C-alpha cells in the first residue's frame, strides 16, 4: 500500500462530543481537547490508523469518524 493510500481523514462531530478527552489520550498526535472542552482534529491528514481506530471505537458518543483520504471509505469505527 502506498503512502497516499494510507492517508486518513479524521472528523469530530462537535455537536456530539461531550469532552471526555479519551480520544486525545489515545491518539494525541491527531486529536486534542480544544478551549471549548470539545475534541478537535490537529492535522488534516494522518496515517495513524491503529490509534485513530481505537479512539473512534471508544468514543462514548460516536463522534469520531475515520475515512480513507483516497477512497472515502469509512475505516473506523467498525463495531
Please give the residue ranges that form the binding site for ligand SF4 (CB under 6 A).
12, 17-23, 39, 59-61, 63-64
Q: State the DSSP code for 37.
A: S
Helix (H, G, I), strand (E, B) or coil at 4: helix
Q: Strand 64-68's sheet: what is its strand order?
A: 8-12, 64-68, 74-76
C-alpha to C-alpha distance for 3 and 65, rounded to whole angstroms: 20
**Closer residue to ligand SF4 in complex, CB, 13/70:** 13
By beta-carbon proximity to ligand SF4, the closer residue of 28 and 60 is 60
Q: At closest approach, how far in Å is the CB of 23 from ligand SF4?
A: 3
> 69: closest CA among 13, 17, 1?
1
Least Å from the CB of residue 29 to ligand SF4: 14
Closer to ligand SF4 by Cβ: residue 33 or 70: 33
State in angstroms the smallest separation of the CB of 66 from ligand SF4: 12
Amino acid at each position: 500500500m502506498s503512502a497516499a493510500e494510507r492517508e486518513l481523514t479524521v472528523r469530530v462531530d462537535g455537536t456530539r462530543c461531550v469532552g471526555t478527552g479519551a480520544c486525545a489520550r489515545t491518539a494525541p498526535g491527531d486529536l486534542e481537547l480544544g478551549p471549548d472542552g470539545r475534541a478537535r482534529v490537529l492535522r488534516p491528514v494522518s496515517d495513524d490508523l491503529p490509534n485513530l481506530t481505537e479512539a473512534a471505537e471508544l468514543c462514548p458518543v460516536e463522534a469520531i469518524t475515520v475515512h480513507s483520504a483516497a477512497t472515502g471509505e469509512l475505516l473506523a469505527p467498525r463495531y
